[in-house]
Amino acid sequence: MDLSWLLGHARVSFHHSKETITLASKSGKTALSDICKAVTPPCKLNPLLFNGHLHTAWTAVKAAGPPIIYKRHIFESDDSRFAGTFSVDFVAHKQAPEEDPTLPPRTTYFTEDEFANIGSDDTKPMLITLHGLSGGSHEIYLRHVLEPLVDQSEQGDWEAIVVNSRGCAMSKITTGILYNARATWDLRQTVKWCRKMYPNRPLYAIGYSLGANILTNYLGEEGDACELQAAVLCSNPWKLEVACRALQRTWLGLNVYSKTMGSSMKKLFAQHAEQVVTMGNIDPERVAKCTYLHEFDREIQCATWGYPTAYAYYRDASSADSVTAIRIPTFAIHAEDDPIAVDEAVPYEEIEQNPYVVMCSTSTGGHLSWFEVGGTRWFSKPVCFCVCGVGEQNADPMIGSEFPPEDGT
């Protein structure tokens, strides 16, 4: 009998097509699946956290995390359909002399002069990050990934930014548009801006939870025209209707996870109610009576975007069907006991049909957790190693792929 789980050793599995794309470098060609497998270390987690609920709950008992410093800039949307502003936090190399109480810790605004000279011709790889539901650049799970990639001295190997969803991370909402699980427009504008301002930098992206769903939809929408070199998806809920119904099947799912997420979104709405109610037929009193996330989505997303039910919104915003349209190297990581991004919602068959996508699943780890002894998060290792590994291949000007037919088969 295999009792390795008693020591915190999780099973690691990989899911991909029989032949994934190959990436070329000076040392030769390497299959994407081989790169992902080579950079994924054994999954040795805290044995006291022996299931997904414990791992997920442990996120509430956390240390301060890596002290990443940011500079913020507010962008005006260039798409009139989604008018308003959104904030982007840039990893900075120097702590500001004074903190800004209107922003998250270690975050200050760019001065006009600083931002006017932000462009660069350097070739540093650049990581674009999307956080989870109601989160922001301050989240510990994303800072665990940024820390090993970004040396905050002037000689750092990577540059990085975090695109904050509208209203999140103490940003302001200037129109009635909050955000939803299909809100790819601000990411698209950010990628285009990065390509213009940093013409020589290879661009990468990573999304967490809801941010992973948004990123997957973006990758599918862009297809062959995608400006990113590669992407990573962490704890993607994939099929939102399936995940929502799974939460409602159990007491913990409904009264802990869905209720907690619903409360977070209600707080976010309360901060921006004056602006949000101008969009659609939104009743603040009905929103105040919401308890669970699906109730909040019914009152906000349906009224804002015209969906007849919350489940119609979930089906439209889900990213599972976008997987087959992805045309850049993509690495997904998932815990099979994730109580929020549930295993039954993972599009395994679609992933195994697309040679551009590789998924790593672990037998335990929870939602955005994977806690090791000492409090570090295991997932940051394969994520960082993967983007660096793919970047190493893509750094060669002779990069090439053995592209499959356009239908992805």
Q: Which residue from 380, 336, 332 is spatially nearest to 352, judged by alpha carbons?
A: 332
* Alpha-carbon span 298 to 311, nearest angstrom: 8
Structure tokens, 378: 């295991």
* Bridging pattern class, strands 70-76 and 107-109: parallel
Residue 251: CB partners within 8 Å, gap ≥ 6? none
Residue 160: CB partners within 8 Å, gap ≥ 6? 90, 91, 126, 127, 128, 129, 146, 149, 150
* Alpha-carbon span 260 to 221, nearest angstrom: 31
> Are 231 and 204 in contact, with CB atoms under 8 Å apart?
yes
Secondary structure element (H or E) that encloses residue 22, with its range = strand 22-25
> Are 206 and 163 in contact, with CB atoms under 8 Å apart?
no
Is 359 strand, coil or helix? strand
Query: Residue 257 gets which letter from DSSP?
Result: I
Query: Residue 127 gets which letter from DSSP?
Result: E
* Alpha-carbon span 393 to 395, nearest angstrom: 5
* Alpha-carbon span 208 to 220, nearest angstrom: 17
Catalytic positions: 209, 338, 367
> Are 206 and 144 in contact, with CB atoms under 8 Å apart?
no
